[in-house]
Structure 1
């Protein structure tokens, strides 16, 4: 007697279905954890940097859209009712610019790391960025 089984009875019950939009990529070492001659580590760090930037761009886009929807829905009282949403959006924009601003379209993980390092040195010497330079009398 020949027993014929179909893929629906054997294969499909044992498959694990992961939707593409829930894909969890592992975190790779950052650029400061890579050796200077490790090209593969540098490549992975740059790809992780690009993914993080795309995620943060989408977060900003969602926050901006929420604010615009709030303004359309709450007009003419949107100045008071949408203030928390606007504050959240502006805080996120400030944080985005602190990390990615002035890097240009070809910014990579190393340039962002150097920007962070220079900012930290500046703040140690002169205080928070935007407050002006300390003079020798201070």
Structure 2
């Protein structure tokens, strides 16, 4: 401290006078009383899904529809993040990107397929009832003909 010039000591003393109370207030009052938030967005409680609602319960349908739309927005954002990660990897690993970014590409394709299974072909105004009917039709198809995309099975026995 002896080697410092008087101007530097004056500036440091002035900074301690101005900054000292602010640091003390933050360390003794703000930080101990601060709550630890792990989430930076609002958490909604899960409401009953459409298959748990009665057919004439419009409030349950309304809540299930809003939850479905929130879930669709979240899933769409997750898919956008995965797509951006893959594009960044391709950009960064440019000449040899298909060997280094293969895992990201497969992960994105799997999630895009799952997103399309749940939300695809519903359109902009698709609601929870249409998605539920889509899921029901898919399950009936798979029970009758096997996985979607394998084609229809031939009738093996005479139905009657």
> Which TM class, normalised by the smaller chain length?
0.7 to 0.9
Matching residue within 64, 87, 103 for 1:45: 64
Which 4+ runs in 1 deviate beyond 4 A?
Answer: 13-20
When the two chains are superposed, the root-mean-square deviation of aligned CA atoms in Å is: 2.0
Tell me the residue number matched to 1:27.
Answer: 46
Match for residue 9 of structure 1? none
Candidates 95, 98, 123, aligned match of 2:117: 98
How far the C-alpha of 1:21 sits from its partner, in A, is: 2.8
Gaps of 5+ in 1: 1-12
Paired with 2:135 and 2:80, the residues of 1 have a C-alpha distance of 24
Deviations 1:53-80 (A, max 9, x none): 0000000000000000000111100010
How many pairs were matched up? 126
Q: Among residues 59, 62, 68, which one is paired with 2:78 in the alignment?
A: 59
In structure 2, what is the equivalent of residue 131 of structure 1?
150
* Higher Rg: 2
Residue 118 of structure 1: which of 134, 137, 158 is its match?
A: 137
Structure 2: distance between partners of 1:82 and 1:49: 32
1:23-51 C-alpha deviation (Å, 9 max, x unpaired): 21100000111111111100000000000
Distance 1:15 1:73 in 2: 40
The aligned counterpart of 1:107 is: 126
Match of 2:95, SS state, is coil
The unaligned stretches of length 5 or more in structure 2 are 1-31
Which secondary structure does the structure 2 equivalent of 1:21 belong to?
coil
